[in-house]
Amino acid sequence: MLIVGLNAYHGDASACVVRDGEVIAAAEEERFRRIKHWAGFPSESIRYCLQEVKATLADVDHVAVNSDPSASFFRKVRYALRERPDPRLIVDRLRNRSKRQSIEGELEAAFPTSRFRGAVHRVEHHVAHLASAFLVSPFAEATVVSVDGSGDFASAAWGVGSGTSIAVEGRVFFPHSLGAFYQAITQFLGFPNYGDEYKVMGLAPYGKPSFAAELRRLVHLLPDGTFELDMRFFRHAKERVPYQWSGGSPQVGTLFSAELEGLLGPRRGRDEPLTERHRDLAHSVQAVYEEAFFHLVDHLHERHRLPSLTLAGGCAMNSVANGKVIRRGTFERLYVQSAAGDAGGAIGAAVHTWHALSAAGEQTVCRPTALKGDTLRGRAIMEHAYLGPQADDETIRVLLEKRAAEINASGCTVTRIDDEVALCKRVAAAVADGHVVGWFQGRMEWGPRALGNRSIVCDPRRADMKDILNLKIKRRESFRPFAPSVLVEHVSDWFEEDGDVPFMMQVFQIRQSKRATIPAVTHVDGSGRLQSVYRETNQRYWRLIESFRELTGVPMVLNTSFNENEPVVCRPEEALDCFLRTRMDLLVLGEHLVTRPQT
């Protein structure tokens, strides 16, 4: 049985395919459209997923979507009658609802030669989020939490996952939202693009919490562990805030009101220099967010006393807060899926539908997962994120032959090394010599993080490596950190926490004695956003880092996404294009090395 899961008509549109309970393939639409956070109907992602399982749309039994427009219907009606928002806001919501109900029509338009005969399942937004984490986690039982901006009239949901089911215990409803709070301050700080919250998170350690008292006026913590926003400082509850979710880059209008400038002073213009005030605001919004987040999860731990926690939703991308979960000593284990935000809702909707059908007797039990052969009470465990497209050796060979004239004109040379050990030793030596390496291997990662298959790798020991990367390739803000990929066997030697972080979703403190050794991946506050690398799930990347360790004694490399102000590269053509238009030193495409002459 095939189930296609979708995140449609929202940022980070995506699709996955689940076969007999296993996630076989998954990808975000932006990788094919080449527009960051692409929003709309993910037809190209669907096309890839079907190709991966050698199926057509006619072979699909079910389509599951991570949105149910009928959810909280009466609550929406009561809100409209009580609060009387701008009629244009209601019209926009109804128009968006109409789009979300046209899945069958979209499938017919995108795949005119193959008719879908199955059933469409609409899974409430936060149920899909919760399922995207717990139902692929290694935990038999866990507290489950979803926190984001808003979806299906809610911004948070929580409960308990056990076996193959999730009992939702509560929600925070629109317009109260930690995601909206963080996004509003992100806009206030002059970062207007969808998804720019990570910039504020990177800026925060450079400041002090001197605006925390003011920002606490925006978020009120309630005795039951929940929170409310003071809506005087926000526009999204009653005014028409422009949103663009169809056919391109997501756009969100200004969320904060004039009262916020009265409280905090003037907003920062997009091109204005960052001052101490802005750095302090960034630190303060991170601190107040963490207060509200831990107010909720600590309350849930006190209620259930379960040792494990799963997180999902856009706010689960806050790796700084995630990294403090275990350190605080309440929960012992944490699982955050590699696509914790809305893209991950595609997997959540699909696996939720699978288990719902199984419980109804319409499906057999789950087969062993292809990831490690493990199952947990009928669930396939997601232990890696390598679920996207790949390029075989012949495709890469033909590409390099076709572009040979262009490669030669740039002064580059192409060599081939068939032996994996020799290849990794050659590349590790280049990294140790200070070269910037584009590393294109295997299947593309699912989620926003490059995890060793679509990565740029460098030497973490060089204090100037951040400047080199920004000069040669990335051209991004100087305050944003780069992350380390670390052999899992050595994590505890270098970090204060011994964490299982395969998806780079937690920030840990680097040991004081090690920080001077790896300055390129040590943030200003002594932290690093860790990716623990396992030989079992990515042998070639593990072997590259092991080769670097044998040369240098350092069991990690600097790892950043393989892109230049664009979505992460998907196909070898995009990797080659990025290499040729930047000043990258070496490109590794499978067994082929493209080397730029050193000057």
Radius of gyration of the chain measured on its C-alpha atoms: 23
Task: Judge contact between 23 and 16, C-beta under 8 A.
Answer: yes
Judge if 426 and 545 occupy the same domain.
Answer: yes
How far is 392 from 397, CA to CA, in rounded Å?
9
Number of helices (H), then strands (E), belonging to the chain: the values are 21, 25
Nearest C-alpha neighbor of 417 from the set 169, 535, 593: 593
Judge if 272 and 353 occupy the same domain.
Answer: no
- Whether 166 is covered by a domain: the verdict is no
Torsion sign across C-alpha atoms 442, 448, 451, 456: positive
Nearest C-alpha neighbor of 521 from the set 442, 596, 576, 458: 458
- Whether 28 is covered by a domain: the verdict is yes
Nearest C-alpha neighbor of 313 from the set 135, 530, 445, 151: 151
**CATH classification at residue 550:** 3.90.870.20
Task: Judge contact between 503 and 514, C-beta under 8 A.
Answer: no
**CATH classification at residue 294:** 3.30.420.40
Judge if 407 and 323 occupy the same domain.
Answer: no
- Whether 489 is covered by a domain: the verdict is no
Judge if 290 and 184 occupy the same domain.
Answer: yes
Judge if 468 and 347 occupy the same domain.
Answer: no
Structure-block tokens of residue 169: 């215990």
The residue ranges of DSSP E strands in 178-297, in sequence order, are: 219-221, 227-229, 243-244, 251-252
- In the chain, which stretches have pLDDT less than 70? 86, 88-101, 361-377
- Whether 144 is covered by a domain: the verdict is no
DSSP notation for 448-463: SS--SSEEEEE-TT-T
C-alpha of 567 from chain center: 12
Q: Is the peptide bond before 597 cis (omega within 30 degrees of 0)?
A: no
pLDDT score of 369: 33
Structure-block tokens of residue 457: 């790798």
Structure-block tokens of residue 295: 């107010």
Task: Judge contact between 255 and 197, C-beta under 8 A.
Answer: no
Judge if 285 and 232 occupy the same domain.
Answer: yes
Centre a 10 Å sphere on the Cβ of residue 189 and count the other Cβ atoms it contains.
Answer: 24
pLDDT score of 368: 31
- Whether 493 is covered by a domain: the verdict is no
pLDDT score of 362: 58
- Measured CA to CA in angstroms, residue 57 lies from 63, 100, 121, 352, 390 at distances of 10, 19, 16, 20, 21
Task: Judge contact between 422 and 481, C-beta under 8 A.
Answer: no
Element (H, E) at 348: helix 345-359
Judge if 84 and 218 occupy the same domain.
Answer: no
Judge if 46 and 115 occupy the same domain.
Answer: yes
- Whether 482 is covered by a domain: the verdict is no
Residue 567 structural domain:
393-477+539-595
How far is 321 from 120, CA to CA, in rounded Å?
36
Determine the residue type at 413: T
Query: What would the pLDDT profile of 501-516 be if each residue is shown by its tens digit?
Result: 999 999 999 999 999 9
Structure-block tokens of residue 16: 């996955």
- Whether 460 is covered by a domain: the verdict is yes
Judge if 320 and 346 occupy the same domain.
Answer: no
pLDDT score of 92: 60
The residue ranges of DSSP E strands in 79-153, in sequence order, are: 119-122, 141-151
Q: Which residue has the tokens 């076989």?
A: 24
Centre a 10 Å sphere on the Cβ of residue 26 and count the other Cβ atoms it contains.
Answer: 31
Nearest 5°: CA angle at 272, between 267 and 241? 40
Task: Judge contact between 225 and 188, C-beta under 8 A.
Answer: no
- Measured CA to CA in angstroms, residue 158 lies from 37, 130, 312 at distances of 26, 8, 10
How many domains does the structure of the chain reveal? 3
| pTM for the predicted model, two decimal places | 0.94
Determine the residue type at 387: L
- Whether 102 is covered by a domain: the verdict is yes
